[in-house]
Amino acid sequence: MSQHDSTTGQLVRKHLALILLPAFFSACAAMEANQAVETEQLLAAAGFQIKLAQSPAQLAHVKTLTQHKLVPHEKDGGVYYVYADATTCKCVYWGNEASYQRYQQLAVQREIADDQRMAAQMNENAAMNWGMWGAGPWWVY
């Protein structure tokens, strides 16, 4: 292999990486936003209160909090759970111990439902006898 071929190959790989990396990070960001929306739906269903950041100072404060995780905080002798989202809703959710327990129950129920849905889909896929339909792609015709 010549020096020119090696250099060209390196340039192609670098350019390809520069093209693919933003797409990869964009896909990751979309998945994270989707996960945030799902979590926020559970928090609301569990009775958490939402406070939207309505000023630049409030949004700046939301950004200082741990993002997309329920974090316990003590206040007035009680424990409150705070979930901050500075990107999707620009808000904080907060709830007491009872809300947190309901959230945990709902999260487990959603996980069980997701597992059952995936198992049903896998069973359905396994039951489909594609061979009996002949060579594919028959659905194109």
Rounded to whole angstroms, how far apart are CA atoms 115 and 120? 9
**pLDDT bucket at 81, cuts 50 / 70 / 90:** very high
**C-alpha–C-alpha distance, residues 43 and 37, integer Å:** 10
Residue 91, SS3?
strand
**Annotated domain spans of the chain:** 37-121
Check residue 48 and give its pLDDT: 98
The answer to whether the predicted template modeling score (pTM) of the entire model surpasses 0.85 is no
Say which residues have a Cβ less than 8 Å from residue 33's Cβ, sequence separation at least 6. Answer: 87, 88
Average pLDDT in the 55-83 region?
Answer: 97
- Res 100: pLDDT: 98
**Neighbour tally for 137: CB within 10 Å:** 7
The mean-pLDDT minimum among 2-6, 60-64, 65-69, 111-115 falls in 2-6
Whole-number pLDDT of residue 123: 76
